[in-house]
Structure 1
Amino acid sequence: MSKGAGVEVARLVLRLAVGGTMVAHGVRHARSLSGTAGWFKSIGFERPELQARASAVVEIGAGAALAAGLATPAAAAAVIGTMAVAARTVHVPNGYFIVDEGYEYVLSLAAASAATGALGAGRYSLDARLGRLGRPGHVGGPWVAAAATALGLTVAAAQLATFWRKPERAEG
């Protein structure tokens, strides 16, 4: 396999892994919207039913787009934003490691999404097939990764400012 083909396969594997994970999370939320809404309420979200629906739609939509390599920079931004919200509301207070409900996992998904923005969707993507992003499927680079990260973090900050209030912890 040539180096170029190896890079193309790496792009595809990265997109499928992160995108598939996001779809799985979204489907899990969609299967139990009332349970997801209750959980969102317990972690401080106002309008938890709206948050549950939005979470399912964004996770499934962004995950499917990222896996398919469709509108890849926007899909990467959506994953980064989703992971930033999860980090701020649940994981950061618990430290780094996932075994303690820390932010290790969400950081890894966000970083992989930023890397996808830097690498571009690649030859095996709908972006390439549709020829919409300049050189087929290869729009990427540091500015794309930075823009996707900035957009994701900005939308996450707006969502948190609008819908989330840090719950008060009971003293024990």
Structure 2
Amino acid sequence: MSSTQESPRDKRRYESPADGLKSLETSYAYWTSKITDISFQSCIALIAANWAISGGSRALFGNVWAISSITTALAAVLVSLVGAFWVSRVTYKEFYAAAHDRAKWADRWEVAERIPSEWPFSAKITHLGTTFTWLKVLLPIFSGILFVIGAVIALPPATATGAQATKSSCCLPATTATLNDAH
């Protein structure tokens, strides 16, 4: 091979397995943070959508599906907050232990090099992270399903002259027929 020709190793995307692992870790951190962001944004949107489609607090509190959707969205926000706090506390304990017993930390690193493990994370951190990630995904989805059910149930019944707006369908556009009926 001439000196100007690249070897197959030179064409590799990463210089070492450690570089590939670092890239994977960065990607994982990015996407899990996106789950947190999108989960929160979805919950806020669902709360607003329930309020908008209900047309006010009276109609909102009269719709068990809307209340269930909002309660689930608020539960998702609460779970996210509690999860962040809990994982941060467990992670801090791990950090504190590592900083104050560097020999034990080095021993754990040695073991992790030979046997696959969650290191530098503890099994508890990994378990909590997985659990709260799933909750951040599933609770807003469930809230959205409840919202759709509540929105469909709140639709006024169709009549022979077409869909007419009723007092419970405050946010549906008025048709010419419903405007003429009002006069």
User: Which TM-score band (shorter chain)?
Assistant: 0.3 to 0.5
Q: Which has the higher contact order (CA 8 A, sep 6+)?
A: 2
What TM-score results when the alignment is normalised by the length of structure 1? Answer: 0.38
Q: Which has more radius of gyration? A: 2
What TM-score results when the alignment is normalised by the length of structure 2? Answer: 0.36
